[in-house]
Amino acid sequence: MIQHTQLITIIIISFLITLILGPLAIPILQRLKVGQSIRDEGPKSHISKSGTPTMGGLIMIAAICITTLTSGHANNDLYVILFATIAFGGIGFIDDFIKVVLKRNLGLKAYQKLVGQIIIAIIIAVYQSKTSQYGTEIFVPFMKQSLDFGILYIPFIATVVVATTNSVNLTDGLDGLAAGVTLIVSLFFALAALYYGNSSATLVSGALTGACLGFLRFNVHPAKIFMGDTGSMALGGAIAAIAILTNMTLFIPIVGGIYFVEALSVILQVMSFKLTGKRIFRMSPLHHHYELKGWKEIKVVIVFWAVTLLLCIIGLFSLKV
96 carries a ligand binding annotation = no
DSSP, collapsed to helix, strand or coil, labels residue 147 as strand
Describe the crossing of helices 199-219 and 228-245 by its angle, rounded to 10 degrees.
160
Cα separation, 65 vs 273, in Å, equals 42
Buried-state track 28-57, b at ≥16 Cβ within 10 A, e below 16? ebeeeebbbebeeeebeebeebeebbbbbb
Residue whose C-alpha is closest to residue 202's, from 304, 61, 77, 114: 77
Residue whose C-alpha is closest to residue 99's, from 164, 147, 33: 33
Residue 18 and residue 210 in contact, taking contact as beta carbons nearer than 8 Å: yes
219 carries a ligand binding annotation = no
Describe the crossing of helices 153-171 and 177-196 by its angle, rounded to 10 degrees.
140
Cα separation, 208 vs 217, in Å, equals 15
Q: Which residues are bridge partners to 146 per DSSP?
A: 139
**In a 10 Å sphere around its CB, with 0-12 CB exposed, 13-18 middle and 19+ buried, how is residue 138 labelled?**
buried
Distance, first Cα to last Cα, the chain: 24
Binding residues for Mg(2+): 169, 229
Binding-site residues: 169, 229
